[in-house]
Chains A and B, each alone.
Chain A
């Protein structure tokens, strides 16, 4: 394996469709919940410990070899918003396309055949990490970091937030990101032994509700 593959996979420029999504930040900005760096940090911290933790656990479990069909169903059960479920599958499909061209292998071809319309993005992310020779912890880091990196980048565009303030937010969240990734891997190992019910189901109701409001809104900049 090469750890450098993690840099490629976690890079926001990896061409897998993430740039069109704000991770709920646009809806939060519109609702007046994110107005500056401090409120962005609170938003990201909440997201990291809820949907970020769930995504990291799914990714780690997929990288460990837990059945992707079981994981995709587990992701559905943990994503009440139909708009977010649809977006997660679209992003999963886009990631799989990019990854199959980047790290061609039979395992990813099989996944594409099994989920022609896409599996939840974190599930695909775990499988891709495995195909790239990475560890479950790497997959968990990738998912956890994405859960806050996306909203931070989007907020720079939405609010004209100072980009240095946004990177400062992400740096301050690094210790929490470490803990989330560790916890995700522990849960994934348990899921390997006892089934996907062992995975965290931390929910952020406001993210789910505002995603539905956002999906119905015209004049939005980001898809989610």
Chain B
């Protein structure tokens, strides 16, 4: 497992906040503002992320479209995805995409616990403390 997390959200505030928090906790985090950008990140960077945090409603390519593309590439299918959304049916949507979910508004603890479950310890060891 790596400690790279891909954060896909069109809301810049959310994206920057989550990326920064993850970095503060010793992860390497990469932001993408839609599904298309996220696919570009997957194509161009190695190693693959240990986790993808995915918003559902985004312009250009939404979360569902991203997930479909992700599953087409055998190299990416194993990367776990957690959907983060404010929609009340996020649970149903996440189930349809065969992924986990977190609900907005979101606190740091559930976010970090979820990341910890999927990713190995970070460089400075803070995540394992």
Whether chain B is bound by chain A comes out as no
Please list the residues of chain B having a beta carbon within 8 angstroms of any beta carbon in chain A. Answer: none
